[in-house]
């Protein structure tokens, strides 16, 4: 472990998309490169934290020097998060699929035999919401993310209250921004103190500044 202000702190980071199987060869998913989550895990590691990195199938590789727990589905991510607790801080950067296919087929669906398939969905666990509402062993700081395409501050402020987390890191992912899958991010940090708009900068720099803020919050 590196020397730094987060020495002795155990921090959970979820990252990447989840894949919800339809059958053994098909899935539904949210779009997520996993870049911001990986950068954040690396920045927290660099400040000396012990990082548990629970990641869905992302485009970018996980950083070195963190405890990587690879998962596919939201249910698996939820189980991995449970197993990682207790932690001092939970950062939920994953783009978790809201629904899974209710009864995924264990055989590949055939194209013509049964006509067009109809998919029934079931709701996935809301991992961030569940951890935020823990009455025992809740992390001291719970940070959620919000991808928004309009009215970012209002939507993210409402989301913070709905989820019960301490901070929401909101970003504007409308296509014109090029943020989704790109190397830059423009975020608003929402806490009980209000909304703080950060200038557009590299995802690595967003990660460093967030890690610094997390370290400052833990010191008090
Ligand atoms: O509700 P929405 O998906 O927009 O909320 C985004 C935040 O909630 C992110 O921090 C995401 O990681 C988290 N989340 C979660 N489990 C879900 C859905 C979202 O942890 N099932």
Bridge partner list, 70: 55
Residue 68 has a pLDDT of 98
Compute, in angstroms, the gap from residue 13 CA to the centroid of ligand 1: 13
Residue 90's φ and ψ, nearest 5 degrees, are -120, 125
pTM: 0.95
Residue 134's φ and ψ, nearest 5 degrees, are -60, 135
Query: Which two tokens mark 52?
Result: 């548990």
Residue nearest to atom 2 of ligand 1 (CA): 146
Do residues 19 and 29 touch, judged by C-beta distance below 8 A? yes
State the binding site for CTP. 98, 108, 125-128, 145, 159, 163
Max CA separation in the chain (angstroms): 63
State the binding site. 98, 108, 125-128, 145, 159, 163
Residue with tokens 């209710």: 102
Which one of 127, 162, 170 would you pick to mutate in the ligand 1 pocket, going by the greatest count of ligand atoms within 8 A of its CB?
A: 127
Residue 37 has a pLDDT of 96
Which one of 40, 94, 149, 210 would you pick to mutate in the ligand 1 pocket, going by the greatest count of ligand atoms within 8 A of its CB?
A: 94
pLDDT category at 111 given cuts 50, 70, 90 is: confident
Name every residue whose Cβ is closer than 8 Å to that of residue 109 and which is 6 or more positions away in sequence: 22, 23, 26, 117
Which of 85, 51, 81, 83 shows the shortest CA–CA distance to 67?
51
pLDDT in tens, 51-104: 999 999 999 999 999 999 999 999 999 999 999 999 999 999 999 999 999 999
- The stretch 115-134 carries a mean pLDDT of 95
Query: Which two tokens mark 154?
Result: 């209002």
CB atoms within 10 A of CB 14: 31
Compute, in angstroms, the gap from residue 88 CA to the centroid of ligand 1: 19
pLDDT in tens, 129-188: 999 999 999 999 999 999 888 999 999 999 999 999 999 999 888 888 887 777 888 899
ipTM, interface predicted TM-score of the complex: 0.96
Residue 140 has a pLDDT of 97
| Omega of the bond leading into 64 within 30 degrees of 0 (cis) | no
Indicate which residues carry an active-site annotation: 30
Q: Is 16 in the pocket of ligand 1 (CB under 6 A)?
A: no
């Amino acid at each position: 472990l590196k020397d730094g202000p987060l020495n002795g702190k155990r921090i959970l980071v979820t990252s990447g998309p989840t894949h919800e199987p339809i059958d053994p060869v098909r899935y539904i998913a949210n779009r997520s490169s996993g870049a911001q989550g990986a950068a954040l895990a690396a920045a927290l590691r660099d400040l000396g934290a012990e990082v548990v990195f629970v990641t869905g199938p992302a485009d970018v590789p996980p950083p070195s020097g963190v405890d990587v727990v690879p998962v596919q589905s939201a249910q698996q991510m939820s189980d991995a998060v449970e197993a990682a607790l207790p932690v001092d801080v939970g950062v939920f950067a994953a783009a978790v699929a809201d629904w899974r296919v209710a009864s995924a087929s264990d055989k590949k669906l055939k194209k013509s035999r049964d006509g067009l398939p109809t998919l029934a969905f079931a709701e996935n666990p809301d991992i961030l919401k569940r951890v935020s509402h823990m009455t025992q062993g809740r992390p001291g700081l719970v940070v959620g993310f919000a991808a928004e395409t309009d009215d970012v501050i209002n939507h993210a402020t409402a989301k913070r209250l709905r989820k019960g987390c301490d901070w929401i890191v909101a970003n504007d992912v409308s296509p014109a921004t090029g943020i989704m899958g790109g190397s830059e991010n423009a975020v608003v940090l929402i806490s009980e103190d209000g909304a703080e708009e950060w200038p557009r900068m590299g995802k690595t720099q967003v990660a460093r500044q967030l890690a610094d803020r997390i370290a400052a919050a833990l010191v008090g």
